[in-house]
């Protein structure tokens, strides 16, 4: 069934593309864009503050706590007892930005010694805590 009009009634297939569905789709897309563009451009006017893009070179201090196998604690290579450690950590927690605390635990040190040092850091209010280890060979 061919929909070709005219006097020629040969059984030829119509070789033209039906443009009506394409035009319908394009009109629908055009209407959608016409409706959405004003919505996208309408916004609340706000006077935003200006900032400079200067890079800040404020690097937080790093505290290295070393825990030996016998439970001795060293603050940056200086021996320190538990009471002095708590006082020093509390003082460091007040700084802005807070320093990073790195704990180096001896391989032969019992976990309880390292755990006590971690607890002292946490109770002082320091948030950045890390561990230092040797890479596997």
Is 88 within the bounds of a domain?
A: yes
Range of the domain at 93: 62-131
Tally the domains of the chain: 1
Higher pLDDT pick, 30 / 47: 30
Higher pLDDT pick, 127 / 41: 127
User: In this structure, what DSSP letter does residue 57 have?
Assistant: -
CA distances from 25 to 5, 28, 38, 39 (A): 26, 5, 21, 22
Would you state the pLDDT for residue 80? Answer: 94
Q: What is the CATH number of the domain that holds 74?
A: 3.30.420.270
Task: Using pLDDT thresholds of 50, 70 and 90, give the confidence band for residue 30.
Answer: very high
For the question of whether the overall pTM of this predicted structure is more than 0.75, the answer is no
Is 70 within the bounds of a domain?
A: yes
Would you state the pLDDT for residue 121? Answer: 93
Would you state the pLDDT for residue 83? Answer: 93
């Amino acid at each position: 069934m061919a929909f070709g009009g005219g006097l020629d009634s040969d059984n030829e297939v119509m070789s033209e593309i039906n443009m009506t569905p394409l035009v319908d789709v394009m009109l629908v897309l055009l209407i959608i864009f016409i409706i959405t563009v004003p919505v996208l451009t309408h916004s609340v006017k706000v006077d935003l503050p200006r900032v400079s893009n200067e890079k800040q070179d404020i690097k937080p201090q790093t505290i290295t706590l070393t825990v030996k196998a016998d439970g001795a604690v060293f603050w940056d290579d200086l021996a320190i007892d538990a009471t002095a450690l708590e006082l020093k950590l509390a003082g460091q927690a007040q700084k802005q930005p807070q320093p990073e605390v790195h704990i180096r635990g001896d391989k032969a040190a019992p976990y309880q010694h390292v755990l006590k040092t971690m607890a002292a850091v946490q109770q002082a209010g320091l948030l950045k805590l890390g561990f230092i280890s040797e890479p596997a060979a």
